[in-house]
Amino acid sequence: MHNDERIERFYTSKAWRKCRITILANAGGLCQNCLKKGLVEPAVEVHHVKPLTPDNIDDPRITLDESNLIALCAACHDEMHRTKRWRCDALGHITL
């Protein structure tokens, strides 16, 4: 998943597990991106708005600060990490 061992260790830490539960609970268990669109989807991921890097992994203002975290459904989380420049719409048509 990640190329850095410290980042991998962070995601198994007690501090992250506790923070993750708090973020999901504060979001009511719902995807915050979907809610903005008027949709109701369960949140299953907690996403770092500013991505974790080897340079910031030891900074709790990045790793554990609620202002840098958002509860997302799997589809929105995948979209946040997508690097492709194209998408498929609901009918399967490719859009750029």
Residue 34 belongs to what domain range? 5-95
Residue 73, Cβ density class (10 Å: 0-12 exposed, 13-18 middle, ≥19 buried) = buried
Say how many domains are in the chain: 1
pLDDT tens for each residue of the chain, 96 residues long: 456 789 999 999 999 999 999 999 999 999 999 999 999 999 999 999 999 999 999 999 999 999 999 999 999 998 888 755 555 566 666 555
**Residue 72: per-residue pLDDT:** 96
- Short-list 79, 93, 92, CA closest to 47: 79
**Residue 80: per-residue pLDDT:** 86
**Residue 1: per-residue pLDDT:** 47
**Residue 82: per-residue pLDDT:** 77
The pair of structure tokens assigned to 55 is 């340079």
pTM of the model: 0.79
Cβ neighbours of residue 21 closer than 8 Å, sequence gap 6 or more: none
The C-alpha atoms of residue 92 and residue 32 are separated, in whole angstroms, by 25
The C-alpha atoms of residue 40 and residue 29 are separated, in whole angstroms, by 10
